[in-house]
Structure 1
Amino acid sequence: MGTGSNSSNDLVVPQASQALEQLKFEVAQELGIQIPQDGYYGHMATRDTGAIGGHITRRLVQIAEQSLARR
């Protein structure tokens, strides 16, 4: 392992953090899920946070597939 933390949540491209945050809000809005203003997800239903994460993963896979198809 390299330097830094061992967290699996570390971004390979730190600049992607803002784009992922925006994607999270877009997906939540599409699903009709309100993201807490204070950023604390502890009071949200696991079903809702899981739905957001699942849709984000699908969207990222689509983006990767489109990128590979263009090559």
Structure 2
Amino acid sequence: MASSNSGTNRVLVPEAKQGLTRLKTEVASEIGFSDYQSIDKGNLSSRQNGSVGGEMVKRMIESYEQGL
């Protein structure tokens, strides 16, 4: 059974929010979205938004593996 707040974003580690925002902006800039913070994400395709999130996950996994 789905929880009543499914589909909402919850910040589990508030201290990480700023770092994730910085990483998202950096990745988006490298992909070609120069001003990702002010872009209406609803006007981007799922593929465009997903490419930013996917690259973020890839980098986080690489960072974790280097720390092992």
Query: What's the TM-score bracket when you normalise by the shorter of the two chains?
Result: 0.7 to 0.9
Q: Which moved more, 1:6-15 or 1:45-54?
A: 6-15
Deviations 1:9-41 (A, max 9, x none): 43332110000000000000111124151x641
Residue 63 (structure 1) aligns with: 63
Deviation at 1:7, TM superposition (A): 6.1
Structure 1: 4+ residue segments shifted above 4 A: 5-8
Unaligned stretches of 5+ residues in structure 2: none
The letter for the 2-side match of 1:28 is: A
Kindly report the root-mean-square deviation, in angstroms, between the aligned alpha carbons of the 2 structures: 2.1
TM-score (norm 1): 0.72
Q: In the alignment, is residue 10 of structure 1 matched against residue 10 of structure 2?
A: yes
- In the TM superposition, 1:1-71 aligns within 5 A as 9-34=9-34, 35-37=36-38, 40-68=40-68
Higher helix share: 2
Does the 8 Å CA contact 1:24/1:56 hold for their aligned counterparts? yes
TM-score (norm 2): 0.75
Distance in 2 (CA, whole Å) between partners of 1:52 and 1:67 is 23
